[in-house]
Structure 1
Amino acid sequence: MRKVKNSIKKMMALCLAAIMTLAMATTAFAADRIKTGNLTVNVNEGNTLKGQTIKVYKLFDLSVSDTHYAYTVNADYKNAIATALGLSKEATSEQLYNKLAEYKENPSGIQKFANDFTAAALKAGTAETRTSRKLGEVTEYKFENLDYGYYLVYQTGTKEIQSSLVSVDDVDVTVNLKGQAPSIDKTANATTVEIGQVVTYTIKGTIPDTTGYDKYTYKIHDTLTEGLDFVKDAVGTAQEGTSYNVSVKIGEGQAETKAATLSGENNRIMTLDLSEWIRNNQNSKGQEFTVTYYAKVNADAVVQTNNSAHLEYGNDPENTTTTTSDEVVTPTYPLDVRKTDTKETLLAGAVFRLYKNETDANAANEKAIKVTGSDGSYVVDPTSSNMDMTTKATDDSKGYNLHLNGLAAGDYWLVETQAPDGYNKLTAPVKVTITKTGDTEWKISKDGGNEEDKIIDIKNSSGTLLPETGGMGTVIFTVIAVVMILGIAVSFVISRRKRA
């Protein structure tokens, strides 16, 4: 009996030990769960974290018990926190906490503290608690296993410092970033263009905050297609050499000239280094600036004529960020004509001129669009003295036998000044309308009717000869009459001789 009791006691002791071990493990596990959490940082709408770095600073340690929270200042950042709050460096953890608590109903005040602390930490080179390093094409980043605490979240390279504050007091916490990465917006003063036209390009950007950076790179890159050439001014003065002047202006202030560099085939790549200019204008950080320059449409322009610009920036010259290219499309359009007779036979030798207004077209004067080319293929050329376009006999399987390239969208009037031999020319101008429907899409109409194949069909008719006076018909009758009269006279003479 005693042995049985001893056995029961041993079993109970073992069970109690197991329970205590499990309880301790559970407590330890719960304690671990309480100590750390994950912080997910989301980018704000319309932005990306590509090429960005996120830094977090644990300003206060945090302990949590049910609904009770206790904050203790992080000694590593105590002085910077006090400075940002306008308090003495001797301020206690409680005093710092109380000062921050006063901003609970003051969003602008707490935001100012966050930004001031960030600026001070960057200038002093204060190390962050944790960093994401440079990110790829993502919209969020998760910091795992952060100690519970009150954190400041800073996204590097933004237009201006806009840090966020968040308490990591649970397993998973989320914060949304406020800062925006630098970007540029490019526009043109025309939506469609004509060969020979000068296009004014404007790039808008915002001067970024370079606080805390010893170096900062800010370069604008612009690439033209073959249909465009950089020129000096709005009247199209030819550019010479690789040093290219552009105009830069902050807000409504005075414009200044900055030298860009041209490179690539036919100098169609522009690089504008504004790194030093950005650093020297930090008193205007957050303000908009504009860059203005010019390009001329050349004879190689097509519907896809465009150019694109992108920004290269960052505080590490060896590891910069490149933004997505901002493309501006300024298409130029062709006008194709199919000249036939009423039997759909292509006709060569018809001569046309194209006018920009109906009055000049009706007068068939010398104000037609100037062109260069031959054999049914022409391009708009404001420097030419020729205005005549002649159809050819074949269409090269393209469906037309007269092609003109380099027109902007709009209304035109096509005038036939000379018809092919043996055919009647048109008696009135044909109205042609080119309409842009997309970056690379357009439609053509003739006298208000849409041409699905984008080809203007022009037909000429021919007829039989009309009757004329004094022709061969009268002469033959006269000859016959004379012959008949002579015959009668001869017969009369012979008859009288026989009677004699």
Structure 2
Amino acid sequence: MRKVKNSIKKMMTLCLAAIMTLAMATTAFAADRIKTGNLTVNVNEGNTLKGQTIKVYKLFDLSVSDTHYAYTVNADYKNAIATALGLSKEATSEQLYNKLAEYKENPSGIQKFANDFTAAALKAGTAETGTSKKLGEVTEYKFENLDYGYYLVYQTGTKEIQSSLVSVDDVDVTVNLKGQAPSIDKTANATTVEIGQVVTYTIKGTIPDTTGYDKYTYKIHDTLTEGLDFVKDAVGTAQEGTSYNVSVKIGEGQAETKAATLSGENNRIMTLDLSEWIRNNQNSKGQEFTVTYYAKVNADAVVQTNNSAHLEYGNDPDNITTTTPDVVTTPTYPVQIHKLIKDQQNSYLAGAIFRLYRSEEDANNNQNAIAVTGSNGTYTVDPEQVGDNKMYDMESIGDGTTVGTGMNLKLNGLAEGSYWLVETQAPDGYNKLTAPVKITITKSDTTNVNDWTIKQNDGVVDDKIIDIENTTGTLLPETGGMGTVIFTVIAVVMILGIAVSFVISRRKRA
């Protein structure tokens, strides 16, 4: 009996050992079959992933043996894959694979499948295999330890759906995104401006794809500097109130009026909420749209006059993405004058009166002078050049600090171009200029707006202060007065005196 029991124990021990060996072998086999890899997702050139979310969907499982690959459809996405491929939901895994394989030489076909699957998944609320969550200012994201498979990669919030497809079949795999995040581009119809000029601003954007989003925010913000004011139209009609109309159109279509809101100091901040308009125009997603509006240059304009626009967008009200501001600079320039006595650099002559003209012909004929406002050596271009009681004369003062260091006359608010300065009246005791002085202003050709230049009669003025010298002299000879008569009389008297003295002397000797 004891022998039987011992035999049974030995058999059970052997069976248990065999079971453990088989289990270990099965685990090792499974581990060898189910492999994982890392997937690095790179944003396309010139963009970042700020505010974006990357989602991946494993469409097919993949097993690899040397150069042999076996794909099996993921049951979670089978119906959506079949629909996107135009096949029935009863299609087998092999049929789905074969249909996709047909797109190997058809890039547009495979891209359409990827986009159609994405749109269907978003509308249906289909769960993704993995997600990056909302990203910061990065250009790549790595999904780690993904099971081998055929993955669709989707970037949220792009201008249009542009999903990517990639097989994770190695330790490290990379895919480059195709989508672009929403952005805006702002331009002006002038690169330099004059006070009183109306500038037309244009913002271009692309209608983003909001497929699958219950909510979507799309707001354009524009902030003007002190040298600009929003106006209603291209002729400069003054804006009243905080409701501000702008023009919006898609492509070359019909423009429509949308109401923006003005706020901030002197209503120089504009907010244009296009959220509902974007959702209502999804049939035009991916197309360019244009926003047009106007601003007038005022007397506070300077060389650094600019305004900046940025976009606020996103499908999550609590996690809205703000783009980097797009700054448009429309500088205006001064003419700075040092009126001095010739050969006395530290002198400042008061009382010289000047006018500025836009052409040499006007300067020579004293017509169409630039109207100005101001006094005490400091003047600005009059925003309204036409009208009664306009002022054209600018008068220098007697020191080099009140107007600005090293100058005693300044006119602000000129655009790039050539001008002619005429001295219409010289200070008492000095000779005025006999010909107009040509002044040429050239905008900066670098990103630094302060690199502008000014020339005086074609010579560059390094310190940007134009020296205007006056000369003085002694009185010239006159006619009709005493002239030389007095000297003749004196000479005659002296000669007579000498003659009389000579005669008296001769008589005494006789």
State whether TM-score is above 0.5. yes
Q: Are residue 420 (structure 1) and residue 427 (structure 2) matched? A: yes
Partner of 2:266: 266
Paired residue secondary structure (1:286) = coil
Question: Aligned partners of 2:33 and 2:92: how far apart in 1?
Answer: 29
Question: Aligned partners of 1:33 and 1:198: how far apart in 2?
Answer: 71
| Letter paired with 2:197 | Q
| Letter paired with 1:306 | N
Q: Are residue 411 (structure 1) and residue 418 (structure 2) matched? A: yes
Question: Aligned partners of 1:357 and 1:477: how far apart in 2?
Answer: 54
Question: Aligned partners of 1:378 and 1:79: how far apart in 2?
Answer: 75
- Is 1:34–1:64's contact at 8 Å kept on the other side of the alignment? no
| Letter paired with 2:366 | A
User: 1:212-361 alignment to 2 at 5 Å?
Assistant: 212-342=212-342, 343-344=344-345, 345-361=347-363
Shift of 1:364: 1.9
Superposed CA deviations along residues 188-228 of structure 1, whole A, max 9, x for unmatched, are: 00000011111000000111111111111111000001111
Shift of 1:474: 6.9
- Is 2:222–2:270's contact at 8 Å kept on the other side of the alignment? yes
- Is 2:59–2:150's contact at 8 Å kept on the other side of the alignment? yes
- Is 2:193–2:330's contact at 8 Å kept on the other side of the alignment? yes
Partner of 1:398: 405
Q: Could you tell me which of 442, 452, 473 is aligned with 1:435?
A: 442
Partner of 1:389: 394
Superposed CA deviations along residues 397-423 of structure 1, whole A, max 9, x for unmatched, are: 611111111111100000000000000
Q: Could you tell me which of 461, 470, 475 is aligned with 1:451?
A: 461
Superposed CA deviations along residues 237-271 of structure 1, whole A, max 9, x for unmatched, are: 11110000000011111110000000111111000
Shift of 1:317: 1.9
Question: Aligned partners of 1:477 and 1:175: how far apart in 2?
Answer: 108
Partner of 1:9: none
Q: Are residue 469 (structure 1) and residue 469 (structure 2) matched? A: no
Partner of 2:194: 194
Question: Aligned partners of 1:144 and 1:357: how far apart in 2?
Answer: 70
Superposed CA deviations along residues 155-182 of structure 1, whole A, max 9, x for unmatched, are: 0011110000001011100000011111
Paired residue secondary structure (2:450) = coil
Paired residue secondary structure (2:79) = helix
Q: Are residue 132 (structure 1) and residue 137 (structure 2) matched? A: no
Shift of 1:30: 9.9
Counterparts in 2 of 1:130 and 1:376: CA distance versus 1, 3 Å: same
Question: Aligned partners of 2:33 and 2:88: how far apart in 1?
Answer: 36
Superposed CA deviations along residues 70-111 of structure 1, whole A, max 9, x for unmatched, are: 111111111100100111111111111111111111111111
Question: Aligned partners of 1:383 and 1:321: how far apart in 2?
Answer: 42
Paired residue secondary structure (2:84) = helix
Q: Could you tell me which of 353, 363, 366 is aligned with 1:364?
A: 366
| Letter paired with 2:475 | L
Shift of 1:318: 2.1
| Letter paired with 2:440 | T
Question: Aligned partners of 1:470 and 1:28: how far apart in 2?
Answer: 130
Shift of 1:473: 3.9
Counterparts in 2 of 1:241 and 1:474: CA distance versus 1, 3 Å: same
- Is 1:413–1:430's contact at 8 Å kept on the other side of the alignment? yes
Paired residue secondary structure (1:440) = helix
Counterparts in 2 of 1:459 and 1:443: CA distance versus 1, 3 Å: same
Question: Aligned partners of 1:31 and 1:125: how far apart in 2?
Answer: 32
| Letter paired with 1:359 | E
Question: Aligned partners of 1:153 and 1:333: how far apart in 2?
Answer: 52
Question: Aligned partners of 2:490 and 2:169: how far apart in 1?
Answer: 128
Give the TM-score, by structure 2 length. 0.87
- Is 2:299–2:383's contact at 8 Å kept on the other side of the alignment? no
Please list every run of 5 or more consecutive structure 1 residues that lacks an aligned counterpart in the other structure: 1-16, 485-500
Question: Aligned partners of 1:360 and 1:33: how far apart in 2?
Answer: 89
Paired residue secondary structure (2:313) = strand
Please list every run of 5 or more consecutive structure 2 residues that lacks an aligned counterpart in the other structure: 1-16, 495-510
| Letter paired with 1:140 | E
Shift of 1:319: 1.3
- Is 2:302–2:413's contact at 8 Å kept on the other side of the alignment? yes
- Is 1:34–1:170's contact at 8 Å kept on the other side of the alignment? no
- Is 1:227–1:305's contact at 8 Å kept on the other side of the alignment? yes
- Is 2:33–2:63's contact at 8 Å kept on the other side of the alignment? no
Counterparts in 2 of 1:326 and 1:29: CA distance versus 1, 3 Å: farther
Shift of 1:351: 0.3
Partner of 1:101: 101
Give the TM-score, by structure 1 length. 0.89
Question: Aligned partners of 1:208 and 1:79: how far apart in 2?
Answer: 27
Question: Aligned partners of 2:112 and 2:490: how far apart in 1?
Answer: 120
Superposed CA deviations along residues 343-393 of structure 1, whole A, max 9, x for unmatched, are: 23211000000100000001123x111111111111111337101110010
Partner of 2:14: none
Paired residue secondary structure (1:78) = helix
Question: Aligned partners of 1:29 and 1:265: how far apart in 2?
Answer: 72
| Letter paired with 2:358 | K
Question: Aligned partners of 2:384 and 2:331: how far apart in 1?
Answer: 21
- Is 1:369–1:382's contact at 8 Å kept on the other side of the alignment? no
Shift of 1:136: 0.1
Question: Aligned partners of 2:437 and 2:30: how far apart in 1?
Answer: 86
- Is 1:331–1:440's contact at 8 Å kept on the other side of the alignment? no
Moved more, 341-350 or 131-140: 341-350
- Is 2:247–2:258's contact at 8 Å kept on the other side of the alignment? yes
- Is 1:246–1:259's contact at 8 Å kept on the other side of the alignment? yes
